[in-house]
Amino acid sequence: MSGPGFETLAIHAGAQPDPTTGARATPIYQTTSFVFDDVDHAASLFGLQQFGNIYTRIMNPTQAVLEERVAALEGGTAAVAVASGHAAQLIIFQSLMQPGDEFVASRKLYGGSINQFGHAFKSFDWRVKWADPDDISSFEAAITEKTRAIFIESIANPGGIVVDIAAIAAIAQKHGIPLIVDNTMATPYLCRPIEHGADIVVHSLTKFMGGHGNSMGGAIVDAGTFDWSASDHYPMLSQPRPEYNGIVLHETFGNFAFAIACRVLGLRDLGPAISPFNAFMILTGIETLPLRMQRHCDNAKAVAEHLKGHEKVSWVSYSGLADHPNHAMMQKYSPKGAGAVFTFGLKGGFEVGVTFVEALELFSHLANIGDTRSLVIHPASTTHKQLADEQKIAAGAGPDVVRLSIGIENVADIIADLDQALAKV
């Protein structure tokens, strides 16, 4: 990376002292709309001849700082901030897909993404084909004439399983398809997917980026690398747009056309805007991302090592451990750490899992990850309760499985809490 270092960008990218008041922290522009200078100014904003604020659903100055910061940290040309990670995914696919089109997705994804792709997207007739990240050839085997994207997570949730991004990027490139990487679990502090060939990076800012478990947000980052005009597969970018006087977005906006499409078509028409307040909270969180993320990883590694040696624990799945089958991949793509979310198995079954989770005191029992606080969930009794036993096991949510998201508390306190709860099972 040339220019300022990551820690400097995390604090300064996109932000200037407020031109009217001198405010140093980014103000929360808590307004729905912005006054035009005159009718010509309004016309040029609506016609995309000039950039500017019109209405907070599409753009807002607090949100704009967040967007510039995330784009800078990921090394992209532009970013769009939206209401949540799932909203970001919806807007990305709406920009790429026509009804009947297909995309290939890793089967090891955040559970909510598996639901969104497998169920919600059916109403748009966007068809997912699952591939196995442990068998890279399965991605190429799933590609057809109708494939319009490949979707993976950099560090897969849970387990800190790192996917071979460059190998999948090579397949995407060979077939003229953009590679989308969900970088939520890694954050750009640990891994920058664009450097390995990603064309689009997507975030749930709700997790480690915001980092304090207080605000929902999502982001879409345009790498500026994909040629949208090489085929007629991406009409939203390569064909004249009737909403904007026949403008062709790729022709007009070049290497940030995808971000523009997501903003002036996706966000404008589908509507999931981030609130200025949430943008402010997440921006503040990002200022300490490098410090927090390193502590998250260091604590998680210490906890994983401790659990591995515990008599009541049957296995620990964390790629930060030297004997994990994915450890070499983790060292290649995420050398500063394997993230903070992993699973382990308790000796005994369902009841032991329930007793353990209820006995924890410092850990919060809830369905989130990426908080300063340490979090725990027993998937078999919560997120995956509806599934049959065999389905639970296939999804990595067998009766003995516990998922942890390790926080940035004192690591001795985290380990002591786990030990006292293990003593009760």
Ligand X SMILES: *Cc1c(COP(=O)(O)O)cnc(C)c1O
For the CB of residue 101, give the shortest distance to ligand X in the complex, in Å.
21
CA distance 199 to 343: 30
Question: Which residue's Cβ lies closest to ligand X?
Answer: 85
For position 133 contacting ligand X by CB under 6 A, the verdict is no
Query: Contact with ligand X (CB under 6 A): which of 204, 278, 317, 319?
Result: 204
Q: Which stretch binds ligand X (CB under 6 A): 106-114, 135-143, 225-233, 261-269?
A: 106-114
- The DSSP symbol for 105 reads E
| CB contact set of 147 (below 8 Å; sequence gap of 6+) | 101, 102, 103, 104, 129, 175, 177
Phi, psi angle pair for 188, to nearest 5° = -65, -10
- For the record, the structure tokens of 342 come out as 């992993």
- Which value, to the nearest 10 degrees, does the dihedral of the CA atoms of residues 31, 33, 35, 36 take? 150
Range in contact with ligand X (rule: CB under 6 A) among 38-46, 200-208, 259-267, 285-293: 200-208
Determine phi and psi for 78, rounding to 5 degrees: -165, 160
Q: How far is the C-alpha of 140 from the C-alpha of 151, rounded, in Å?
A: 13
Which span (199-207, 269-277, 279-287, 406-414) binds ligand X, by CB under 6 A? 199-207
For ligand X, which is the closer residue by CB, 62 or 183? 183
Residue 216 lies near ligand X (rule: CB under 6 A): yes
Indicate whether 396 belongs to the interface with ligand X (CB under 6 A): no
| Burial (0-12, 13-18, 19+ Cβ within 10 Å), 305 | middle
Identity of the residue, 300 or 421, whose beta carbon is nearer to ligand X in the bound complex: 300
CA distances from 295 to 6, 154, 226, 228, 299 (A): 16, 20, 35, 40, 6
**Which residues inside 86-105 make contact with ligand X, applying CB under 6 A?**
86
Q: Where are the alpha helices (DSSP H) in 16-83?
A: 39-46, 61-74
For position 113 contacting ligand X by CB under 6 A, the verdict is yes
Please report, as a single letter, which amino acid is at residue 229.
Answer: S
DSSP assignment letter at 255: G
User: Of 69, 129, 207, 250, which one interacts with ligand X (CB under 6 A)?
Assistant: 207
Which lies closer to ligand X via its Cβ, residue 61 or residue 112?
112
Nearer to ligand X, 196 or 203 (CB): 203
d(CA 386, CA 398) in angstroms, rounded, equals 12
Residue ranges in 219-278 that form contacts with ligand X under rule CB under 6 A: none
Q: How far apart are CA 404 and CA 338, in angstroms?
A: 13
Residue 296 binds ligand X, judged by CB under 6 A: no
Binding residue for ligand X, selected from 61, 112, 118, 272, defined by CB under 6 A: 112
Question: Based on CB atoms, which residue is closest to ligand X, 402 or 422?
Answer: 402
Nearest CA among 209, 250, 254 for reference residue 81 = 209
Q: Does 84 participate in binding ligand X (rule CB under 6 A)?
A: yes
Position 153 contacts ligand X (CB under 6 A): yes
Closest CB 420 distance from ligand X, rounded Å: 29
Residue of 345, 329, 328 lying closest to 404 (CA atoms): 345
The contacts of residue 214 (CB under 8 Å, 6+ apart) are 281
Using CB under 6 A as the binding rule, whether residue 182 contacts ligand X is answered as: yes
Task: Write down the least CB distance from residue 387 to ligand X, Å.
Answer: 19
CB of 117 to ligand X, least distance (A): 11
Closest separation in Å from C-beta 216 to ligand X: 5
Least gap, CB of 13 to ligand X (angstroms):
22
Using CB under 6 A as the criterion, which residues of the chain lie in contact with ligand X when the complex forms?
Answer: 84-86, 110, 112-113, 153, 157, 182, 184-185, 204, 206-207, 216, 218, 369
